[in-house]
Amino acid sequence: MGSTAVSGGATGAKSHGSTTAIVVTALALFSMFFGAGNLIFPPMLAVQAGDNFWPAIIGFLGTGALLPVLAVIAIALSGANVRDLAQRAGTVFGIVFPVLAYLSIGAFYALPRTGAVSMETAITPLFGVEGLAASAIFNIIFFGIALALSWNPNTIMEKLGKFLTPALVILLVLMIVLSLLKWHADPSAPSEDFATRPFTTGLLEGYLTMDSIAALAFSIVVISTLRYKGFPEGTPLVRGTILAGAGAGIMLGIIYLGLGTIGRVIPNPGQYENGAGLLADAANLTLGGAGQIIFSLVVLLACMTTAVGLITATGEYFSEQFPGTYKTWAIIFTVMSTVIATQGLDFVMTIAAPVIGFLYPPAIALIFVTLVEPLFRTRTRFTWAFFLPIWVATIWSAVETLISLGWGANALTPLIAWAPLQAAGLGWVVPVLAAFAVGLVVDFIRPKAPMKVGTVETVDGEYVNA
């Protein structure tokens, strides 16, 4: 009896510890996702969508909250990092896609954006300082702190989840609740694309958060953190990763709805050109003289937590795949980001926009086929059903990117103009689904390789020595 009691107590303590680890990890993952872009896009979407707020925000939640969760689940179920997963579409894709993905969420865009946005929306309005010298000083300090916080990747989730994230969430909730108590919705007529296709426009706006691509990278940090916390390999680690991802996604969705509602209820919303100005005014109107300070703290915390997560994820990936230690790569990306961020937000966007547009279709295709494959596990293992849709998405996206840059637009436009949803920016969807269907048929009719004596089949369908 005594032995049973001790065992039960130990099990209960272990279960409590596991739950705590998952909650802390979910909070940290939320903070890594939630940067300045996530802060300013929803309220401006609400202003532009007007009466069509709900279909627009649902579309935004699809790519801004749900898709990142699906990406985390895809990595967890596959048991592979993004490079191992991408290599199933061929060696070239397996090398190029992960590097571009990590660089886009790292030193080429999302990481320097955290410093540039912090400077332009938090520091300049609060202190009135601007210019290249002020920007350089601020970004050296900002990224120096981010590097220090990310110096030990095994403890990053605890630092974010226990300290920075709660502070960020409290400030956000305070601003949202006060706005709802003070004002009432009086939406205007929708503008531009929100008038004719609010859902798909909201869907495309969600791309700009970059969280779906970031989720493919952050999953490594989540898995390594839970492993460090004692989660055993296999089902417990997969389940913990999925629960942490789902928790982060739910928090993202709730905060997005709250920020979107601020855009709906703030007086005279048409006067604002961007979400940063709108939220700054909302903070001033609801919190008085302290409003700008509160808003600046929200921006700084949102950007800092994201910067820490991005340095950690990119540093871990490049140290695993290329020569150099984690700390070496972390320093390299921090220095690069400091230099780029110092040039300002417009410079950052100019560099990154074509890469972002190119990456999303193949990233979504990769997530889709990875999630669907377990449904067919007993019948076949995806080969062509993996290869064909991802390459169709990649080629289609490359053509669209070239057209957007004005390179051969007259010759290339007819190649993709025929596709359904092309006008909405989703022309790649139907060709990718068709390629998946063709690949699935080929995989079903081709014989599956026989299992050799002395081997067992793993979760992902590979054969290994028993």
CA atoms within 13 A on the CB side of 241: 33
Per this entry, what is the length of the chain? 466
Residue 1: the pLDDT is 43
> Does residue 122 surpass a pLDDT of 60?
yes
Q: What is the mean pLDDT of the chain?
A: 83
Rounded to 5, what percent of the chain is helix, strand, coil? 80, 0, 20
> Does residue 456 surpass a pLDDT of 80?
no
H or E element that contains 137: helix 132-149
Residue-range domain boundaries for the chain: 14-343, 347-461
What percent of the chain clears pLDDT 90, i.e. is strictly above it? 30
pTM of the model: 0.81
Nearest-10 crossing angle of helices 53-61, 198-207? 40
| 435 and 361 Cβ atoms separated by less than 8 Å | no
Residue 2: the pLDDT is 40
Residue 352: the pLDDT is 67
| 396 and 432 Cβ atoms separated by less than 8 Å | yes
> Does residue 258 surpass a pLDDT of 90?
yes
In tens, the pLDDT along 423-442 reads 877 899 999 999 999 999 99
Give the list of residues 6+ apart from residue 289 with CB closer than 8 angstroms, or none: none
pLDDT average, residue stretch 18-40: 84
Give the list of residues 6+ apart from residue 154 with CB closer than 8 angstroms, or none: 224, 225, 228
Q: Rounded distance, CA 108 to CA 355, Å? A: 9
Q: Rounded distance, CA 241 to CA 253, Å? A: 18
Residue 191: the pLDDT is 81
Residue 454: the pLDDT is 40
pLDDT average, residue stretch 390-408: 91
Confidence of residue 448 (pLDDT cuts 50, 70, 90): low
pLDDT average, residue stretch 102-125: 84
Residue 295: the pLDDT is 83
CA atoms within 13 A on the CB side of 153: 26
Residue 452: the pLDDT is 43
- The sign of the dihedral angle between the CA atoms of 145, 152, 212, 384 is positive
Q: Rounded distance, CA 216 to CA 131, Å? A: 35
> Does residue 455 surpass a pLDDT of 60?
no
In tens, the pLDDT along 190-231 reads 887 898 889 999 988 887 777 888 888 778 778 888 888 888
In tens, the pLDDT along 326-365 reads 999 999 999 999 998 888 767 776 766 677 778 889 999 9
In our burial notation (b when 16+ CB lie closer than 10 A, e otherwise), range 342-369 reads bbbbeebeeebeebbbbbbbbbbbbbbb
Residue 421: the pLDDT is 82
Which class does domain 14-343 fall in?
mainly alpha
Q: Rounded distance, CA 367 to CA 89, Å? A: 12
